[in-house]
């Protein structure tokens, strides 16, 4: 187990996610980058976790169901352009690392890469997945198309 996610780290990550979004990196043999603007920290089964929603139609969904891990990457500087571009292109049709000019670094605790341009890295191992049909929504909430991947926090560190 690496460094523990502090309250300051959690605040930084949630602020970035709510404002511009954060990068999520997945896979090593077939790596991909996606952007998320939502997710949730919590504690399940006595473990610190992050719940990551992904649609089954996404390339990242294929990778995470095989590798059972992902990394949250918080930009160290303004990367709104890269985040916007990453949201607009598909990992099915290109290597997003190359397309976005981002530098892959080997993750410390999971089989994935992380982004060298990011400051805070949170590595997670998937310990459960909740399929869309297991989710009951109320008040016309539109989340039923996402699987929720529950990732136990395996490591947290700063690159820059």
pLDDT at 77 over 50: yes
**Domain total of the chain:** 1
Please check whether residue 72 lies inside any domain of the structure.
yes
Provide the strand spans (E) within the chain: 22-26, 32-36, 40-44, 47-55, 69-75, 104-106, 113-115, 118-130, 146-158
The enclosing domain of 105 has a CATH number of 2.30.110.10
Give the global pTM.
Answer: 0.92
User: Which stretch of 13-17, 88-92, 108-112, 139-143 has the lowest confidence by average pLDDT?
Assistant: 139-143
Cα–Cα distances (Å) from 126 to 24, 71, 130, 152, in that order, read: 13, 11, 11, 6
Please check whether residue 1 lies inside any domain of the structure.
no
Residue with tokens 């896979």: 27
| pLDDT value, residue 145 | 83
Please check whether residue 146 lies inside any domain of the structure.
yes
- Please state the separation of Cα 54 from the chain's center in Å: 9
| pLDDT value, residue 1 | 41
Please check whether residue 81 lies inside any domain of the structure.
yes
Q: What is the mean pLDDT of residues 19-24?
A: 96
Please check whether residue 79 lies inside any domain of the structure.
yes
Please check whether residue 91 lies inside any domain of the structure.
yes
| pLDDT value, residue 140 | 66
Q: Do the Cβ atoms of 91 and 32 come closer than 8 Å?
A: yes
Domain of residue 61: give its range.
7-158
Token couple for 73? 């990457």
Please check whether residue 76 lies inside any domain of the structure.
yes
Please check whether residue 32 lies inside any domain of the structure.
yes
Band of residue 132 on the pLDDT scale cut at 50, 70, 90? confident
């Amino acid at each position: 187990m690496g460094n523990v996610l502090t309250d300051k780290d959690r605040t930084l990550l949630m602020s970035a996610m709510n404002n511009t979004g954060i990068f999520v990196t997945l896979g090593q043999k077939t790596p991909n980058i996606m952007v998320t603007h939502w997710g949730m920290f919590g504690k399940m089964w006595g473990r610190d976790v992050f719940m990551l929603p992904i649609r089954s139609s996404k390339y990242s969904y294929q990778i995470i169901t095989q590798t059972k891990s992902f990394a949250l990457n918080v930009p160290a500087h303004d990367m709104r352009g890269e985040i916007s571009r990453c949201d607009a292109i598909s990992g099915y049709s290109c290597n997003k690392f190359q397309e976005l000019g981002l530098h892959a670094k080997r993750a410390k605790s999971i089989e994935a890469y992380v982004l060298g341009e990011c400051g805070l890295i949170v590595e997670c191992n998937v310990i459960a997945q909740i399929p869309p049909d297991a989710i009951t929504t109320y008040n016309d909430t539109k989340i039923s198309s996402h699987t929720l991947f529950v990732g136990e926090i395996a490591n947290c560190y700063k690159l820059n």
